[in-house]
């Protein structure tokens, strides 16, 4: 399934990446180097309480209202704040939601463009403020990418914006920021990082230039995720997962995700299940569904997780499901009170996400998506 070595691919990542324990001061050093003084920090309520860790000088405005699944009103409130702040630099400080909104805050204020004007690939007119991304979870890899996802409450669908103008000028990944992440969130975000790697590895658009990041990201997850859950203060495990997340972000740009994320999205948009938790619940089902089309790669994924290699769908489902459950992930839709009569609508919505499903290694029908939801109930 992997494309040939000579198949064209464009690799895009932040021009400067600081990775490792104690790298946080790189943020202010970079601001000093560039002479920037007006800064807008985009954070959720928790991370807003620890903005002082960034040790920022100058005029600092903090937007502290990032929601777990950011929607259009959330973005509009941020744009209004950004237009008042007239920031020279936007800093995304948090998980994927904060970093996704920070990308849009660096390009939309004062541009004359609305979110709907820029949905899709490369419709953003220009970057209007410098962008720094500082992840505080190990999951989305959003610090490395050029995409932003915002939910439209009118349709309950995620609107995806992709633009090179939304690439961070600096990404600072300090795993020490993740030491306080609770076990359940560590598990869910960790499986999200794994899903980015695995879906890119098994995609129709899979490419050797990305496969090495994808497989190593899966291996890092297999080696370190259970450790990070068991002992949040395990610095090596936290660093291993931060690197797995970054590698997952590298996979998203040129290759992106496939059916796993498409099937998981309605869980977030319709039932407000956190993105990582939704991915963990769906991941084993889609890995098993795709196994016949990408047998060798499926075996490599299981091996990376320390599981018996197999390409038999039933064995794959059993192994991957047990692995996620062993991490403490909630593996039943019913536990989230998702009503059975909503499953057909969810399946129709997921089936419409062609930007992801068209890259799945095996065609998946609306009925097959519905069967996955029923099996996960």
Task: Tell me the pLDDT tens digit for each residue of 235-292.
Answer: 999 999 999 999 999 999 899 999 999 999 999 999 999 999 999 999 999 999 999 9
pLDDT digits (tens, 9 = 90+) for 20-52: 999 999 999 999 999 999 999 999 999 999 999
Q: Average pLDDT in the 321-332 region? A: 97
How would residue 203 be classed by pLDDT, with cut points 50, 70 and 90?
very high
Find residue 149's DSSP bridge partners: 160
What distance in Å separates the CA atoms of residue 173 and residue 34, rounded to the nearest whole number?
20
Beta strands in the chain (DSSP E): 16-19, 38-43, 59-63, 89-94, 120-121, 130-135, 147-152, 157-162, 170-173
pLDDT for position 172 = 98
- The pTM assigned to this predicted structure is 0.96
pLDDT for position 69 = 87
User: Is the model's pLDDT at 130 over the cut of 60?
Assistant: yes
What distance in Å separates the CA atoms of residue 332 and residue 42, rounded to the nearest whole number?
33
What distance in Å separates the CA atoms of residue 318 and residue 96, rounded to the nearest whole number?
29
pLDDT for position 2 = 52
If you average pLDDT over every residue of the chain, what do you get? 96
Q: Average pLDDT in the 337-352 region? A: 97
Helix (H) / strand (E) element for 80: namely helix 72-85
User: Is the model's pLDDT at 184 over the cut of 60?
Assistant: yes
């Amino acid at each position: 399934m992997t494309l040939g070595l000579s198949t064209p691919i464009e690799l895009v990542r932040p021009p400067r990446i600081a990775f490792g324990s104690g790298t946080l001061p790189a943020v202010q050093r970079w601001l000093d180097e560039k002479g920037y003084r007006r800064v807008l920090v985009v954070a959720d309520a928790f991370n807003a309480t620890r903005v002082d860790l960034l040790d920022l000088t100058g005029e600092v405005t903090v937007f502290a209202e990032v929601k777990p699944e950011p929607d259009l009103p959330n973005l509009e409130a941020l744009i209004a704040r950004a237009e008042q702040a007239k920031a020279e630099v936007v800093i995304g400080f948090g998980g994927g939601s904060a970093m996704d909104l920070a990308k849009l805050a660096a390009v939309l204020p004062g541009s004359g463009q609305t979110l709907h004007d820029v949905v899709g690939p490369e419709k953003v007119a220009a970057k209007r403020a410098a962008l720094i991304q500082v992840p505080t979870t190990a999951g989305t890899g959003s610090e490395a990418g050029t995409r932003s996802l915002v939910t439209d409450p009118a349709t309950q669908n995620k609107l995806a914006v992709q633009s090179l103008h939304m690439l961070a000028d600096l990404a600072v990944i300090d795993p020490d920021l993740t030491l306080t992440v609770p076990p359940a969130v560590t598990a869910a975000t960790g499986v999200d990082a794994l899903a980015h790697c695995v879906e890119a590895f098994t995609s129709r658009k899979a490419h050797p230039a990305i496969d090495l990041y994808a497989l190593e990201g899966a291996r890092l997850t297999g080696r370190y995720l259970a450790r990070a859950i068991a002992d949040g203060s395990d610095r090596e495990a936290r660093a291993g997962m931060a690197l797995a997340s970054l590698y997952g972000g590298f996979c998203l740009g040129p290759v992106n995700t496939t059916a796993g994320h498409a099937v998981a999205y309605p869980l977030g948009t319709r039932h407000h299940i956190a993105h990582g938790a939704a991915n963990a619940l769906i991941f084993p089902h889609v890995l098993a569904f795709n196994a016949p089309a990408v047998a060798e790669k499926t075996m490599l994924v299981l091996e990376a997780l320390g599981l018996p290699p197999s390409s038999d769908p039933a064995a794959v489902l059993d192994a991957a499901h047990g692995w996620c459950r062993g991490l403490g992930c909630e593996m039943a839709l019913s536990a989230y009170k998702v009503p059975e009569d909503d499953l057909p609508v969810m399946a129709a919505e997921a089936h419409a996400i062609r930007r992801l499903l068209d890259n799945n290694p095996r065609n998946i029908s609306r009925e097959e998506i519905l069967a996955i939801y029923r099996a996960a109930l």
